[in-house]
């Protein structure tokens, strides 16, 4: 059992979007797109939760629902015991100081008309208007140095920097308020491999220094394994497996997780040649019309007739849980 303080407790989180019908009849009801469909997970102080899955499985929507960029259709997002989904705007604004986000596209997430000094300082000016200009500037320079940026570039604009440098600016902006948790929405997917390693190592150093909790979303499982304490595997808006990173990577149980793991390259050429890759057949089903019962059954090599009947629930504990009665 985890002895650290519980920061985030998500219970049955659902995010459904109503999509207008393409029918010729104007009175046809809209169709629900189930981007996130009943996620339960906890995040503890100083912990990193990795979130993996194919494109379109609901990872980014899950992250945006936590921070309030999209509204939850159902469920609870408990932050230090308070439900963020039911907070008024003023209350939610106060929690923004404690929960920050790093976005996927480094350059697109920065205002091109603002200098990087103003970009990093913006949260301070929003939440601490009593600070003088000199105090703000000193804090910005201190944070720039912490993330590997020279203070003498404070008056330059985002387009003058590389992708890796722009992501460091985004990290500095997220850290300037000294939050308790940062949601990293694929923060290294747009970067070169060598730059990815630098950014991931920087996040690990800062996490250790400040005691941060991270929700780290990525496609690259090797990156997720390197940074995560626990890993949550999502498929079509559902959690199919979750557990401690070492245990999950060593003994994946769900057929979808196993398929993802076999796609991870092994540094040893001999082992890589001997590895048997498990290919998934077919495409990801539409979240507007998901399969009945287990959402993975249409692509699962172990699917049985009963898989179409009931939706499986996670069975196990916080160390390792899987939503598949066949493999248990």
CATH entry 3.40.50.300 includes domain 1-18+31-98+179-281+313-328: yes
CB under 8 Å to 159, separation ≥6 — which residues? 107, 112
d(CA 64, CA 67): 5
- Per-residue pLDDT of 31-75, as tens digits, reads 889 999 999 999 999 999 999 998 889 999 999 999 989 999 999
Instruction: With CA atoms as reference, report the closest residue to 31 among 314, 226, 286, 316.
Output: 286
- Give SS3 for 217: strand
What distances in angstroms separate CA 33 from CA 20, 51, 284, 323, one per listed residue?
10, 21, 14, 22
The pLDDT of residue 323 is: 95
The pLDDT of residue 35 is: 94
The pLDDT of residue 245 is: 94
The pLDDT of residue 157 is: 96
- The gap between the terminal CA atoms of the chain, to the nearest Å, is 21
Helix axes 133-146, 163-175, angle to 10 degrees: 130
The mean of the pLDDT values for the chain is 90
Q: Any idea which residue has 């540094």 for tokens?
A: 267
The pLDDT of residue 202 is: 93
Instruction: Give the pLDDT band of residue 19 (cuts 50, 70, 90).
Output: confident
Instruction: Give yes or no for residue 267 having a pLDDT over 80.
Output: no
Instruction: Give the pLDDT band of residue 123 (cuts 50, 70, 90).
Output: very high
Q: How much helix, strand and coil, in percent to the nearest 5, is found in the chain?
A: 35, 25, 45
The pLDDT of residue 269 is: 76
The pLDDT of residue 104 is: 87
- Per-residue pLDDT of 62-112, as tens digits, reads 999 999 899 999 999 999 999 999 988 888 888 889 999 999 888 899 999
- Per-residue pLDDT of 199-220, as tens digits, reads 999 999 999 999 999 999 998 8
- Give SS3 for 42: strand
What stretch(es) of the chain map to CATH 3.40.50.300? 1-18+31-98+179-281+313-328
Instruction: With CA atoms as reference, report the closest residue to 174 among 112, 115, 127, 120.
Output: 120
The pLDDT of residue 101 is: 94
């Amino acid at each position: 059992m985890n002895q650290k303080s519980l920061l985030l407790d998500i219970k049955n989180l659902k995010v459904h979007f109503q999509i207008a019908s393409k029918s010729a009849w104007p009175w046809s009801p809209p169709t629900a797109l189930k981007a996130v469909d009943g996620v339960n997970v906890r995040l503890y102080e100083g912990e990193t939760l990795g979130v993996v899955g194919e494109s379109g499985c609901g990872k980014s929507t899950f992250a945006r629902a936590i921070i309030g960029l999209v509204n939850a259709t159902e469920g609870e997002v408990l932050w230090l015991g308070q439900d963020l989904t039911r907070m008024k705007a003023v209350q939610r604004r106060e929690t923004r100081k404690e929960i920050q986000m790093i976005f996927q596209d480094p350059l697109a997430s920065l205002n091109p008309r603002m200098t990087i000094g103003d970009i990093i300082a913006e949260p301070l000016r929003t939440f601490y208007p009593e600070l003088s200009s000199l105090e703000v500037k000193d804090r910005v320079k201190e944070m720039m140095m912490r993330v590997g940026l020279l203070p003498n570039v404070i008056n330059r604009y985002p387009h003058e920097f590389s992708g890796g440098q722009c992501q460091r600016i985004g990290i500095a902006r997220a850290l300037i308020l000294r939050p308790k948790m940062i949601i990293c929405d694929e923060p290294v997917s747009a970067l070169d491999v060598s730059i990815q390693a630098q950014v991931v190592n920087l996040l690990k150093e800062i996490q250790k220094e400040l005691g941060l909790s991270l929700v780290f979303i990525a496609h690259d499982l090797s990156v997720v394994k390197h940074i995560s304490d626990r890993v949550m595997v999502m498929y079509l808006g559902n959690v199919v497996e979750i557990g401690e990173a070492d245990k999950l990577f060593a003994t994946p149980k769900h057929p979808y997780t196993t398929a993802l793991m076999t796609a991870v390259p092994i540094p040893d050429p001999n082992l890589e040649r001997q590895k048997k890759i498990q290919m998934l057949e077919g495409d990801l089903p539409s979240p507007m019309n998901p399969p009945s019962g287990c959402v993975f059954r249409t692509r699962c090599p172990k699917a049985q007739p009963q898989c179409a009947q009931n939706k499986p629930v996670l069975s196990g504990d916080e160390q390792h849980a899987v939503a598949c009665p066949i493999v248990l």
